[in-house]
Amino acid sequence: MDYSLLRRTEFPATKLSDLPRWNVFVSAYNKSERVNDVFAQVIADKKEWLVHPEYDFSAADLPATGETRVMTTRDEAEFWHEYFLMADLDAWPRNATICVDSTGFMRPHLMLLPLLLRERGFTRLDVLYADPKAYESGEKTPFTQGAVTEVRQVRGFEGTHIPDAGDNDLLVIGAGYDDELIRRIAESKRAARKLEMFGLPSLQPHMYEENRLQAAKAEEALGPLPDRSFMFAPANDPFATAQELHDRLADERARGLANLYLSPLATKAQTLGFALYYLCECIGQAASMIFPYAEFYSRETSVGLARVWLYELELDWFIQ
Amino acid sequence: MSDNPFEVTKAVDFTDAQIAATWVDLPGGGFVTLADPKSPMPTFLVGGKGGGRTHLLRYFSYALQRLRHSEDLLAGVQADGYLGIYFRCEGLNSSRFAGKRQEAETWEAVFSYYTDIWLARLTVDLIADLRMTVPSQFDRDDLTGFAAAVLDLFDVDVTMSQDAGDPAHDLSATFERLQRDLDLAINNAALTHELDVRIGASPGRLVFGVPAAAARHLPALSGIVFAYLLDEFENLTIDQQRYVNTLLREKELPTTFLVGSRLFGLRTHATLSAGEENRQGSEFALVVLEDAYRAQSHQYGSFCSSIVLRRLHESGCEVGVRMRLDDFFEGPANDEQSLEERAALRVAEKTSQDPGTRPWLERLRQQLQASDHGYELSDVMSAVTFPKSPLHEKFAVFLLYRAWADGEELSGAAASVRVAVNGLLSGEEKSGKVATSYKHYRHDLYAQILNDLRLPQEYFGFREFVQMSGYLPRNLLVLLKQVTRWSLFLGEQPFRGDKVSLRAQREGVREASAWFLSDAKGLGRVGEETQFAIRRLASLFREMRFSDKPVEVSCSSFSTDRQGLSPAALNCLNEATSHSLILEVPNGRRDKNTHLLNHKYQLNPMLAPLFDLSSALRGSAVFTTADLNAIFDPAVSETQYEAVKRRILDRMKAPFFAKVPPQDAFKFE
């Protein structure tokens, strides 16, 4: 599998007018400058804000521009079923050009979308990701608000597992800034050997160090991590992320791997990379995507907009 | 091998071989007296995180039996009398069995069937492995009969896989296929909203039928108990636990169950058997590991020593059987040094620039001046000053505060205090009331001296670490891990020649303490609220300890009859207890007035270093219902809480305005 064949294009913040035009553009609303700037500058026949209940917006907080759909369900599968019904997806031409800005979406929802669109006959999805200039409070930026309420498999990414594989289970964590999420996910698969993937290069040079410092706080839950337990892929490159997973996990499979668990907790670009890898190589296997679901998420975590990335997903290429 | 023998603190991070190598049995009759895998009575093994459940259940597992009996596996298993079928409930990924636009009853049925297939598959896999290891002991015709009997347990036709050409392995492949088909149907339901599952066997039939068929058809396994060792039971929802409870209730020989769970994880004892509830002693036994350790606390100490010595031995450190673990850790400069000498030393070090300045005297002076006792200042101050023994001086000040709080005339009281403390210093007063009081409070007064001098509190020595572990061996290992890390960081060679320095011990315990607080946090909003309440409680204990007139010695516990506590406060208290942030002291405490037996709760001693508390269980605070509601009810605002706290502490701080506890400040519905 060669994920480098998939196309990724960079657009500086000052050149967003160069972005292609789409039939439909969907973004998840929050207060971040990078999310709102992109929404304002994208040109599409139809532009829609989806409002996750996890952001806990009141009616007065909703955006003034663009069509806004306030979603009522937190379950990722039901979220998209609800939206598809609202937007009358069945009536869309299958060659419609669709773009989602991944920046504000909840991670499980983002992962599931390509699979659902593919199942409904769409063959192409463009995904944007906006790099911030910095996070609001550095490594102390609270991304989740409130408690983690549940750790579970992501809908559509539930595998067929082997009972009591013991030492041969593996959990790959895309380690972000939120040490509580890392701790929860590690605790949920206590017996599994753990690998951590870090974004390197990070979105901004200082962020890698912040990331490592935060992740280290979950060390007791992670257990001993030998040197080979760390993986690296660019924080804004889903295809390099998927490639790194492919290469490393091929080694792990060769050494004997029973159950595989994946949990992307860092950038949305990394999340997309994990999803692509799973959809290409793990469907129907003893592999699941797992995620720590929190009650609420911060509406504003970043400062500024550095650049925007466009990832072009050929859905029929990676979901057979 | 890592330089740190305590790097691994969880049984799940050990391989089977390491579990075997680090196994330490409980002194006395051993763990088997608590949980016997051969016992026909299903047993719940519950406790806090790190009590040793997983270690114990894995020790009983077939994988470990294989290691223990590597020379003659079958003879070993027959001698054990059981086969340990271990699995973690986490592996079921139980959250799949909900939602997806399916009825709860549908999921109940699917989960039951899936669990049956899962357990049956584990059992068949185990028999297939045994057959492969000792082929001569398993006749092919017997195995064919066994496989046929297992397939007969289904209510539908199940085609046997024919891939391996061996009945045991073909049966194993058949179960793998059945499970896979179920997985696909369950997983796809989220996307399609359809759940295409055909239940192939009545509930429990496979769970009990497979072992029974093995006993009937395979002579090598005749008379062997099949012990299902279910770990991490807390991962199942209440409905799912109800099904497992039903299996326990309907249990048929030669099957039995040992179920491991966190304290909070036992959500119900209800069953699906006409709504019947399982009863302790009748349908199941319940063992709380911490309670078992606490009941034999002297043996817990030697159990901990054995664990640590085994670890040190495994990591290549030279340890003798009679090695005193305290010898590995630095104590005060001289082991014989008394608390009084240590206090004098600390004061001398910190006040060397200005020997006359001692913060507690300065504070007393200011308090007297600020109140209406300024005219007595000179007499009082000279009476309580004992420059040669700061600890006695602190005690003199404490006695004076007591007299002040009681409304005594201060000059006279100060003179009496001087006589009393002189009696202590001269040795004339050895067993009287004053001597007893001094004996009780001297450790807290020493802690106050350290606090006044802005020195860190002292936590050192193996015995103290055992005490801090709160009857959870993993806590001890985490403490030792952090202490050893600090020791290595400071360039020491712990357990290999150097004693672990006081600084490494101090820094290590503090890190372990901070870890414990965050690690013990439960899921959901109640987990957050409980953390908040624990911080309130521990901070209050700290302020009480460092107050002018602490009313209890080393206070880190409280008792309550729980009457009048708001539902939210009760919920929070229960959450704190079930996550071991607070330990419930068995047998409680009898109320001084009503003589009724109250619940007694101790803040987990692992938290002591984080809040500068004593790790010992000594004094117990008297809190009113309103006090406890203010601490534990998340609806109580910070302002309301501060008012309650001030009222509690005013009784302990000069000039002692609040002598009588007022009526409940807040009323709760």
Q: Is residue B369 located within the same domain as residue B247?
A: no
**How would residue B666 be classed by pLDDT, with cut points 50, 70 and 90?**
very low
Q: Tens digit of pLDDT for each residue in B429-475?
A: 777 888 999 999 999 999 999 999 999 999 999 999 999 999 999 99
Record the tokens describing residue B192, joined without a space: 């399609």
SS3 B387: coil
Q: Tens digit of pLDDT for each residue in B73-124?
A: 999 999 999 999 999 998 888 999 999 999 999 999 999 999 999 999 999 9
Among B8, B88, B95, the residue with its CB nearest the CB of A191 is B88
Find chain B residues with C-beta within 8 A of A81's C-beta: 193
DSSP string, B201-260: S-TTHHHHHHHHHHHHH-GGGTT-EEEEEEE-GGGS-HHHHHHHHHHHHT--TTEEEEEE
Q: Is B454 exposed, middle or buried (0-12, 13-18, 19+ CB in 10 A)?
A: exposed
Among A75, A163, A224, the residue with its CB nearest the CB of B13 is A224
- B359 cis-preceded (ω within 30 degrees of 0): no
What pLDDT is recorded for position B538? 95
Question: What's the whole-number average pLDDT of chain B?
Answer: 89
| A156 in contact with chain B, both atoms CB, cutoff 8 A | yes
Over residues B36-42, the mean pLDDT reads: 94
CA A87, A88, A94 angle in degrees (round to 5)?
105
Domain tally, chain B: 3
B313 within domain boundaries: no
Q: Is residue B448 located within the same domain as residue B558?
A: no
| B62 in contact with chain A, both atoms CB, cutoff 8 A | no
What pLDDT is recorded for position A127? 97
Record the tokens describing residue B62, joined without a space: 């077939």
What pLDDT is recorded for position B336? 63
- Which chain B residue is nearest to residue A285, measuring alpha carbons? B180
SS3 B55: helix
Q: Tens digit of pLDDT for each residue in A37-66?
A: 999 999 999 999 999 999 999 988 898 888
Q: Is residue B242 located within the same domain as residue B360?
A: no
Q: Tens digit of pLDDT for each residue in B472-506?
A: 999 999 999 999 999 999 999 998 888 899 999 99
What pLDDT is recorded for position B355? 63
Find chain A residues with C-beta within 8 A of B190's C-beta: 77, 155-156, 158
Q: Is the pLDDT of residue B24 over 50?
A: yes
- Maximal C-alpha separation, chain B: 104
Q: Is the pLDDT of residue A117 over 50?
A: yes
Q: Is residue B412 located within the same domain as residue B551?
A: no
Q: In b/e form, how buried is each residue of B464-473, taking b as 16+ CB within 10 angstroms?
A: bbbbbbbbbb
B497 within domain boundaries: no
Over residues A288-308, the mean pLDDT reads: 87
Cα–Cα distances (Å) from B349 to A267, B386, B450, B452, in that order, read: 52, 17, 11, 13
The Cα–Cα gap between B69 and B67 comes to: 6
Nearest to B482 by CA among B11, B1, B9: B9
The Cα–Cα gap between B657 and B651 comes to: 7
Q: Is residue B374 located within the same domain as residue B256?
A: no
Tell me how close the Cα of B511 comes to any Cα of chain A, in angstroms.
11
Write down the H helix ranges in A99-151.
107-119
What pLDDT is recorded for position B321? 63
Q: Is residue B86 located within the same domain as residue B144?
A: yes
Q: Is residue B107 located within the same domain as residue B177?
A: yes
Q: Is residue B440 located within the same domain as residue B539?
A: no
Torsional class of B223: left (φ above 0), alpha (ψ -120 to 50), beta (otherwise) = left
Of B295, B316, B348, which residue sits at a domain end?
A: B295
B471 within domain boundaries: no
| B18 in contact with chain A, both atoms CB, cutoff 8 A | no
The Cα–Cα gap between A153 and B278 comes to: 31
Q: Is residue B535 located within the same domain as residue B440?
A: no
Q: Is residue B269 located within the same domain as residue B344?
A: no
Which phi and psi angles does A232 have, rounded to 5°? -140, 140
Q: Tens digit of pLDDT for each residue in B549-601?
A: 998 888 899 988 888 899 999 999 999 998 999 998 887 777 766 767 788 99
Q: Is the pLDDT of residue A35 over 50?
A: yes
Question: DSSP code of B50?
Answer: T
Over residues B24-29, the mean pLDDT reads: 84
Task: Work out the angle between the directed axes of helices B390-405 and B359-370 (0-180°, nearest 10).
Answer: 20
Find chain A residues with C-beta within 8 A of B16's C-beta: 166-167
Question: Please, which residues bridge with residue A303 across strands?
Answer: A134
Of B401, B417, B452, which residue sits at a domain end?
A: B452
B502 within domain boundaries: no
Q: Tens digit of pLDDT for each residue in B165-200?
A: 789 999 999 999 999 999 999 999 999 999 989 999
Alpha-carbon dihedral angle through residues A301, A303, A305, A309, given to the nearest 10 degrees: -30
**How would residue B1 be classed by pLDDT, with cut points 50, 70 and 90?**
very low
B334 within domain boundaries: no
Question: What's the whole-number average pLDDT of chain A?
Answer: 91
Over residues A2-15, the mean pLDDT reads: 91
**How would residue B377 be classed by pLDDT, with cut points 50, 70 and 90?**
confident
| B12 in contact with chain A, both atoms CB, cutoff 8 A | yes
**Cβ separation A146–B118 shorter than 8 A:** no
pTM listed for this prediction: 0.86
B614 within domain boundaries: yes
Instruction: Report all structural domains of chain A as residue ranges with CATH numbers, in order of start.
Output: 3-136+301-318 (3.40.50), 138-297 (3.40.50)
Q: Is the pLDDT of residue B342 over 60?
A: yes
**How would residue A125 be classed by pLDDT, with cut points 50, 70 and 90?**
very high
Distance of alpha carbon B124 from the chain centroid? 36
In terms of pLDDT, which residue wins out, B317 or A313? A313
Which phi and psi angles does B306 have, rounded to 5°? -65, -40
The Cα–Cα gap between B19 and B5 comes to: 14
| A74 in contact with chain B, both atoms CB, cutoff 8 A | no
What pLDDT is recorded for position B356? 63
Among A149, A155, A224, the residue with its CB nearest the CB of B523 is A149
**Cβ separation B91–A259 shorter than 8 A:** yes
The answer to whether B195 and B100 have CB atoms below 8 angstroms apart is yes
The answer to whether B620 and B556 have CB atoms below 8 angstroms apart is no
| B13 in contact with chain A, both atoms CB, cutoff 8 A | yes
Over residues A187-197, the mean pLDDT reads: 92
- Domain span at residue B361 reads 339-452
In terms of pLDDT, which residue wins out, B356 or A199? A199
Among B179, B180, B528, the residue with its CB nearest the CB of A146 is B528
Helix (H) or strand (E) holding A67: strand A67-70
Q: Is A203 exposed, middle or buried (0-12, 13-18, 19+ CB in 10 A)?
A: buried
Percent of all residues in chain B with a pLDDT value above 70, rounded to a whole number: 96
The answer to whether B128 and B101 have CB atoms below 8 angstroms apart is no
Over residues B41-63, the mean pLDDT reads: 91
Of B452, B478, B511, which residue sits at a domain end?
A: B452
Parallel, antiparallel, or unpaired for β B620-621 and A134-135? unpaired
Alpha carbons within 13 angstroms on the beta-carbon side of residue B185 total: 19
The answer to whether B448 and B360 have CB atoms below 8 angstroms apart is yes
Tell me how close the Cα of B195 comes to any Cα of chain A, in angstroms.
14
What pLDDT is recorded for position B17? 84
What pLDDT is recorded for position B155? 93
Q: Is residue B448 located within the same domain as residue B539?
A: no
Among A146, A149, A189, the residue with its CB nearest the CB of B90 is A189
**How would residue B665 be classed by pLDDT, with cut points 50, 70 and 90?**
very low
B504 within domain boundaries: no
Alpha carbons within 13 angstroms on the beta-carbon side of residue B3 total: 13
The answer to whether B620 and B600 have CB atoms below 8 angstroms apart is yes
B157 within domain boundaries: yes
